[in-house]
Structure 1
Amino acid sequence: MTKFVGWYVKIAAVSALVGASMELFMIHTGFYDKVVVLEAEKRALESTPEAQAMREALNPWRKHDEEAGRKSSS
Structure 2
Amino acid sequence: MKFLNWYLKIGVVSALVGASMELFMIKTGFYDKVTVLESEKRAWESSPEAQSVNEALNPWRHHDSEVKENA
TM-score class, shorter: 0.7 to 0.9
For structure 1, the 5+ residue unaligned runs are none
Q: 1:1-74 to 2 correspondence within 5 Å?
A: 2-68=1-67
Aligned length: 71
Secondary structure of 2:66's counterpart equals helix
Partner Cα separation in structure 2 for residue 33 and residue 52 of structure 1? 27
CA-to-partner distance for each residue in 1:45-71, whole Å, 9 max, x for gaps?
Answer: 112211101101111111222335668
Q: What value does the CA root-mean-square deviation take over the aligned residues?
A: 1.9
Distance 1:14 1:37, change over 3 A: same
Normalising to structure 2: TM-score of the pair? 0.85
- Whichever residue aligns with residue 62 of structure 1, its letter is R
Q: Percent identity?
A: 71
Normalising to structure 1: TM-score of the pair? 0.82
- Whichever residue aligns with residue 63 of structure 2, its letter is H
- Whichever residue aligns with residue 60 of structure 2, its letter is W
Question: Larger % of helix: which?
Answer: 1
